[in-house]
């Protein structure tokens, strides 16, 4: 078991998506839902998109299959995971990096991939979506937006590597990977029924013309202004500046968290003192609005960043972790109210901070748009929670507003601190586990481990009116999420029967599992390794060989038709 996930090649993802939609109507184990026509279209970054919701920059927008799974569930606004000059292994990210309670915490900020890998994943996802939407008539191929995210200082953002990333996202036509995907598609047009050569060659790969700037807590105001101005003036990008919940002020944050049952959350007063003040940020934002008007790009704020808190009980490794989810909701909507009042509603707000089915309609009604989520997708339901958010919007359709209705946001902020749904009650603090004596490594009892995995690394299959779950080693980055939702108290990513890509991967892991080389399988059961054909291995374990036989006879994706 390795904590390095591996991007899946374009050809494999395409085969899997075509096969799975034709067989089961899903992409990467997420049922494909068309957008309810009740949801009014939204105009963002020069595009008309089919829904204002999507995944926030984070674990759900790191790999191409995650982005496609989110689209399947109804996402149309995708905030891609942040790239920065420090990349891949140099990040030194410690695993697990996600801790999910009622609220969630993480210690990851930017992509674990290298900048080039991240670029290729985003181009791959964008292009696959264009193909799949057209092939299966899922909606408007133009009806979604990719918002890129960069950090964390001007020097890094101006570096050759990050500049290449930004320019290639603006126009990927010269990127070798994109050219290879197009060539491959044209050579395999017989895999499709609706796709034409004209459509494929007519696509122009403007992957993204919009960006969110992330800066570190404590970043000086002058630096924030220089980067944002650079992104608008020089890069001509529609730009969102991510602001911190610290804008609410230390006293108000402490009061809200205590009142709502999060009194155990501790944080450093210094992080408030180091961050830009509310007064300074309003002056800065006003200047940036002037720049955006002059260079004719959109400008707004992204509310909010996650909230830095102290690690007290070894929830994760290190000293600081970043809080998100329901506990962030009153803080983020509070900042939205404060800024909306200061700007009399004339400041665009992109929102992320504890949105759920209970508040999304009201948030959207204020004029805030788009709205993205991450913690919600890490909980049972997983990506399908996006479908529920769209349903909540369709139940009470509201047209996109041109400005923010300040009074509505203020009311929402007042209501948020009274609403017991966002309180941390004792009931929520308890973790119920079923008590059982036996556990199968193929367990599919609740499928929570399948749903909550951002990377689709736990995969569920039906068989003999039963189902089994296989763990995919190469997709798992050991984020830890699935271990919080196993109703039997197990750690799925360490205990499930695992499919390995090759011998080396199997040797790096202690998990029981297998890898396949043509018709020969190497399986490890109870630590013992055996090699042979499935017929030869039957004497070792009837259950395992039967499941693998079924798996390869029914779930193989090495054909597209």
CB of 297 to ligand SF4, least distance (A): 36
In this chain, which stretch among 123-131, 191-199, 351-359, 479-487 interacts with ligand SF4, using CB under 6 A? Answer: 479-487
Task: Name the maximum alpha-carbon separation found in the chain.
Answer: 75
Q: Give the Cα separation of 408 and 363 in Å (integer).
A: 9
Q: Give the Cα separation of 326 and 154 in Å (integer).
A: 32
Name which of residues 441 to 460 contact ligand SF4 (CB under 6 A): 443-449, 452-453, 455, 457-458
Is residue 91 at the binding interface for ligand SF4, with CB under 6 A as the rule? no
Residue 139 or residue 480: which is nearer to ligand SF4 going by CB?
A: 480
Residue 344 near residue 125 (C-beta atoms within 8 A): no
Q: Which residues contact 517 (CB under 8 A, 6 or more apart)?
A: none
Is residue 482 at the binding interface for ligand SF4, with CB under 6 A as the rule? yes
Residue 310 or residue 466: which is nearer to ligand SF4 going by CB?
A: 466
Is residue 490 at the binding interface for ligand SF4, with CB under 6 A as the rule? yes
Residue 27 or residue 181: which is nearer to ligand SF4 going by CB?
A: 27
Is residue 477 at the binding interface for ligand SF4, with CB under 6 A as the rule? yes
Name which of residues 236 to 265 contact ligand SF4 (CB under 6 A): none
Is residue 69 at the binding interface for ligand SF4, with CB under 6 A as the rule? no
Is residue 18 at the binding interface for ligand SF4, with CB under 6 A as the rule? no
Residue 18 or residue 70: which is nearer to ligand SF4 going by CB?
A: 70
Kindly write down the DSSP assignment for every residue of 105-138, as one continuous string: EE---B-SS-HHHHHHHHHHHHHHHHHHHHHHT-
Q: What are phi and psi of 286, to 5 degrees?
A: -65, -40
End-to-end Cα spacing for the chain: 33
CB of 439 to ligand SF4, least distance (A): 7
Residue 121 or residue 478: which is nearer to ligand SF4 going by CB?
A: 478
Provide the token pair at 158.
């101006």
Q: Give the Cα separation of 236 and 210 in Å (integer).
A: 9
Is residue 481 at the binding interface for ligand SF4, with CB under 6 A as the rule? yes
Distances in whole angstroms, Cα of residue 530 to Cα of each of 317, 495, 516, 521, 548: 37, 19, 12, 8, 14
CB of 350 to ligand SF4, least distance (A): 26
Residue 62 or residue 304: which is nearer to ligand SF4 going by CB?
A: 62
CB of 420 to ligand SF4, least distance (A): 28
Residue 127 near residue 23 (C-beta atoms within 8 A): no
User: Residues 152, 468, 493, 497: which binds ligand SF4 (CB under 6 A)?
Assistant: 493
Q: Which residues contact 344 (CB under 8 A, 6 or more apart)?
A: 406
Residue 129 or residue 479: which is nearer to ligand SF4 going by CB?
A: 479
CB of 513 to ligand SF4, least distance (A): 13
In this chain, which stretch among 170-178, 186-194, 471-479, 527-535 interacts with ligand SF4, using CB under 6 A? Answer: 471-479
Strand order in the sheet with 307-310: 98-100, 104-106, 320-324, 307-310
Name which of residues 192 to 221 contact ligand SF4 (CB under 6 A): none
Q: Give the Cα separation of 303 and 298 in Å (integer).
A: 16
Q: Give the Cα separation of 290 and 219 in Å (integer).
A: 22
Q: Give the Cα separation of 396 and 407 in Å (integer).
A: 19
Residue 62 or residue 340: which is nearer to ligand SF4 going by CB?
A: 62
In this chain, which stretch among 121-129, 322-330, 336-344, 475-483 interacts with ligand SF4, using CB under 6 A? Answer: 475-483
Is residue 87 at the binding interface for ligand SF4, with CB under 6 A as the rule? no
Residue 494 or residue 538: which is nearer to ligand SF4 going by CB?
A: 494
Name which of residues 385 to 444 contact ligand SF4 (CB under 6 A): 443-444
Is residue 488 at the binding interface for ligand SF4, with CB under 6 A as the rule? yes
Determine how β-strand 98-100 pairs with β-strand 104-106: antiparallel
Residue 288 or residue 476: which is nearer to ligand SF4 going by CB?
A: 476
Beta-carbon-side half-sphere exposure of residue 267 (alpha carbons within 13 Å): 26
Determine how β-strand 53-55 pairs with β-strand 371-373: parallel
Q: Give the Cα separation of 446 and 448 in Å (integer).
A: 5
In this chain, which stretch among 68-76, 113-121, 138-146, 470-478 interacts with ligand SF4, using CB under 6 A? Answer: 470-478
Residue 135 or residue 478: which is nearer to ligand SF4 going by CB?
A: 478
Q: Give the Cα separation of 210 and 77 in Å (integer).
A: 11
Q: What are phi and psi of 434, to 5 degrees?
A: -75, 150
CB of 468 to ligand SF4, least distance (A): 10
Determine how β-strand 299-303 pairs with β-strand 238-243: parallel
- Long-range CB pairs of 357-360 (<8 Å, 24+ gap) are 357/385, 357/388, 357/389, 357/391, 357/392, 358/392, 358/421, 359/329, 359/333, 359/412, 359/416, 360/53, 360/389, 360/392, 360/393
Residue 258 or residue 508: which is nearer to ligand SF4 going by CB?
A: 508
Is residue 486 at the binding interface for ligand SF4, with CB under 6 A as the rule? yes
295 to 334: interface string for ligand SF4, x by CB under 6 A: ----------------------------------------
CB of 443 to ligand SF4, least distance (A): 3
> Which stretches of the chain bind ligand SF4, using CB under 6 A?
443-449, 452-453, 455, 457-458, 469, 476-482, 485-488, 490, 492-493
């Amino acid at each position: 078991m390795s904590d390095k996930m591996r991007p899946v090649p374009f050809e494999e993802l395409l085969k899997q998506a075509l096969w799975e939609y034709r067989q089961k109507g899903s992409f990467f184990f997420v049922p494909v839902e068309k957008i309810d026509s009740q949801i009014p279209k939204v105009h963002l970054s020069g595009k008309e998109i089919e829904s204002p919701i999507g995944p926030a920059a984070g674990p759900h927008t790191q790999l191409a299959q995650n982005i496609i799974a989110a689209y399947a569930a109804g996402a149309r606004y995708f905030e891609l995971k942040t790239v920065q000059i420090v990349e891949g292994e140099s990040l030194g990210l410690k695993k697990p990096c996600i801790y999910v309670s009622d609220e969630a915490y993480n210690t990851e900020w930017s992509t674990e991939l290298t900048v080039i890998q991240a670029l290729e994943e985003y181009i791959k996802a964008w292009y696959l979506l264009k193909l799949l939407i057209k092939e299966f008539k899922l909606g408007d191929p133009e009806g979604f937006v990719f918002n890129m995210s960069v950090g964390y200082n001007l020097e890094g953002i101006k570096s050759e590597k990050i500049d290449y990333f930004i320019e290639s996202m603006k126009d990927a036509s010269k990127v070798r990977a994109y050219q290879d995907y197009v060539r491959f598609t044209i050579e395999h047009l017989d895999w499709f029924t609706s796709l034409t050569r004209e459509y494929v060659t007519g696509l122009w790969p403007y992957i993204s013309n919009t960006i969110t700037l992330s800066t570190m807590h404590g970043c000086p105001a002058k630096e924030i202004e220089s980067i944002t101005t650079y992104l608008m003036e020089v890069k001509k990008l529609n730009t969102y500046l991510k602001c911190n919940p610290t804008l609410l002020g230390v006293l108000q944050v402490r009061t809200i968290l205590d009142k709502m049952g999060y009194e155990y959350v501790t944080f450093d007063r210094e992080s408030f003192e180091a961050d830009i003040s509310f007064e300074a940020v309003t002056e800065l934002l006003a200047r940036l609005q002037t720049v955006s008007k002059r260079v004719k790009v959109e400008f707004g704020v992204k509310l909010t960043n996650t909230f830095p808190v102290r690690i007290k009980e070894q929830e994760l490794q290190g000293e600081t972790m970043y809080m998100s989810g329901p506990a962030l909701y009153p803080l983020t909507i509070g900042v939205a109210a404060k800024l909306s009042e200061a700007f009399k509603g004339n400041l665009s707000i992109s929102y992320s901070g504890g949105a759920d089915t209970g508040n999304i309609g009201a948030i959207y009604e204020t004029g805030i748009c788009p709205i993205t989520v991450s913690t919600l997708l890490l909980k049972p339901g997983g990506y399908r929670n996006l479908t529920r958010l769209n349903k909540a919007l369709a139940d009470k359709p509201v047209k996109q507003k041109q400005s923010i209705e300040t009074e509505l946001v203020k009311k929402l902020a007042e209501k948020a601190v009274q609403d017991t749904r966002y309180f941390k009650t004792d009931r929520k603090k308890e973790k119920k586990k079923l008590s059982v004596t036996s556990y199968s490594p193929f367990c599919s009892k609740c499928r929570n481990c399948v749903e909550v995995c951002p990377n689709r690394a736990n995969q569920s299959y039906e068989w003999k009116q039963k189902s089994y779950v296989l763990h995919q080693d190469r997709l798992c980055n050991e984020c830890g999420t699935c271990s919080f939702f196993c109703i039997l108290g197990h750690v799925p990513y360490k205990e499930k029967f695992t499919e390995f890509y090759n011998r080396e991967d199997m040797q790096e892991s202690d998990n029981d599992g297998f890898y396949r080389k043509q018709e020969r399988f190497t399986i490890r059961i109870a630590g013992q390794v055996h090699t042979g054909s499935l017929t030869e291995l039957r004497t070792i374990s009837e259950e395992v060989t039967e499941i693998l036989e079924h798996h390869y006879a029914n779930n193989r994706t090495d054909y597209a038709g």
